[in-house]
Structure 1
């Protein structure tokens, strides 16, 4: 059985997943074409390339918002600075935390350009005519995040609101990951325990503990690994991808390894490479 293993020794985020899958041999150009089915491609540009993290060559994947997504220069700038992960959010809210951390502001109209409700995202996925596997994976991951955010903020799922900075990024990260996993012919997914990091992050609601409440809610039933890194290692999107897709959490299963990929986070840590490793191979 063709198996994908997430080796999350430095956490997991949506863009680290995509970077690692590209690094393992998936085709980002085909993914970019598939994502056009969402009719959102005027709102973002995608970039990917090789970087070296503490001696490991890895692939960094970025979603860069365009002016068409109605971002102010300041928003776009902070978005790129904070794009991924293991970051401290010290000078602005990071994009994945905007996901759900603004949706309960009643003064934000649902029609605001760039912002999307959970319901609108589900409709966009259903209308895009992805293949069944991609659609099902994407919908399940969004539901996991939406339910967690709704639980934290006391909102029913249909009222959960994805803020514009978080929405576009998370849509690309989640659906892009599903497209690449489908493209690679993965039949089962396993994962290591998820290290969440520790410390505090600054978001729109104030100073929150790490793991953030939504991340912890998403990881209910998933083994969490402890380490002493004072930074956010698992984002809500990364946590949801692992929680929804992985059928088993533990050490690397017996497998014949076929390909390996390293996906880079934005932060650089002193003592270890801030990358997500994916291992793809045949298990019994």
Structure 2
């Protein structure tokens, strides 16, 4: 299991991310070859990397040189371009997730539907190369988890296609929701929309580095020099240390004693659909001796605002409290296994030593019980016995 930790002391941008990944061992020629799979004219851009110094620290600077006039693209154009490419499925999936988070943020900022989002700077070839290049490099290095430090907000103004905007830019501020930030920096844009989108889409934890054995360190330089810190993104590549995975989550709770109980089932479904990792209800005895329900939600930090807003909209709750928590967890995958009842989807749990257990999916067992006329518990027993043996 490969972990990538983003040490964002000076911030993060798309070109800085690609540069640091190149330092970690991704060959520039591999990046060029893979980017050629995009349906972009090869004559419209070129890429290069060079060693530079930022306030006494040596790092790699990644540069995309483009033709003078580039079209501004809609989100659907870019999504279709990635989907139509011959890139690996994992590369496509990561790149699509990053662009979707960007489109989501732009849609909120400009009050339009996601399909109508019109990218300006981010729609340029250089930004497409930065995002798809990041996905290519992560795939090459075999990164399975991405974590990041807290992020500097920056200050001042930035010039964009929409004119002069405050730092962080509106789309960046939208993407930073749920991430830990601080104001201990000087003037300048420290986190770009592309850098924020990479973390919003791919990071599973924020804060201190997770436990790991360090394999390498890569430093990517930004284009500008800052007066307070070296403008460098440092990426630490490592392997899992131990048999359990660590990640950061938010636990959010509220107490409800005056709501139609039929709404709770609907609420749970909606929360899980919108990204909650888990939802639970527990009975309470509340003030004036009224019976009530404690609603508990576990989510990633980036989903907190959306899920809290849903609770306050869909229930009679007037507030919701939350606190950060750390989890230790097993590696879990959904896999298809062949059994005497046919192909079934199962949850597979592993630790560093190998397979621990297999858990059949309820919907699969329910379907097979109905199709075969078998008791549900018998279907569970057959699948558990045959999938563990395989």
The two structures have a TM-score, normalised by structure 2, of 0.60
Q: Which runs of 5+ in 1 are unaligned?
A: 72-112
Q: Displacement, 1:16?
A: 0.2
Separation (CA, whole Å) in 2 of partners of 1:221 and 1:238: 15
Q: Displacement, 1:165?
A: 7.5
Q: Give 1:118's aligned residue.
A: 75
Q: Mean alpha-carbon deviation: is it higher for 264-273 or for 44-53?
A: 264-273
Aligned length: 240
1:134-173 map, 5 Å: 134-163=91-120, 166-173=123-130
Contact residue 14 and residue 130 of structure 2 kept, 8 A: yes
What SS is found at the alignment partner of 1:161? coil
Larger radius of gyration between Structure 1 and Structure 2: 2
Q: Give 1:176's aligned residue.
A: 133
Separation (CA, whole Å) in 2 of partners of 1:185 and 1:206: 40
Q: CA RMSD of the aligned region, Å?
A: 1.4
Q: Which runs of 5+ in 2 are unaligned?
A: 242-390
Q: Give 2:53's aligned residue.
A: 52
Displacement over 3 Å in runs of 4+: none
Contact residue 38 and residue 87 of structure 2 kept, 8 A: no
Q: Give 1:94's aligned residue.
A: none
What SS is found at the alignment partner of 1:64? strand
Contact residue 45 and residue 66 of structure 1 kept, 8 A: no
Separation (CA, whole Å) in 2 of partners of 1:114 and 1:51: 31
Contact residue 189 and residue 246 of structure 1 kept, 8 A: yes
Structure 1 residue 25 corresponds to structure 2 residue 35: no
1:1-284 map, 5 Å: 1-40=1-40, 41-67=42-68, 71=69, 114-163=71-120, 166-284=123-241
Contact residue 116 and residue 164 of structure 1 kept, 8 A: no
The two structures have a TM-score, normalised by structure 1, of 0.81
Separation (CA, whole Å) in 2 of partners of 1:164 and 1:227: 27
Separation (CA, whole Å) in 2 of partners of 1:171 and 1:264: 19
Q: Mean alpha-carbon deviation: is it higher for 234-243 or for 39-48?
A: 39-48
Separation (CA, whole Å) in 1 of partners of 2:182 and 2:215: 27
Separation (CA, whole Å) in 1 of partners of 2:56 and 2:214: 22
Q: Deviations over 1:29-60 (max 9, x none)?
A: 11111111113122111111101111211000
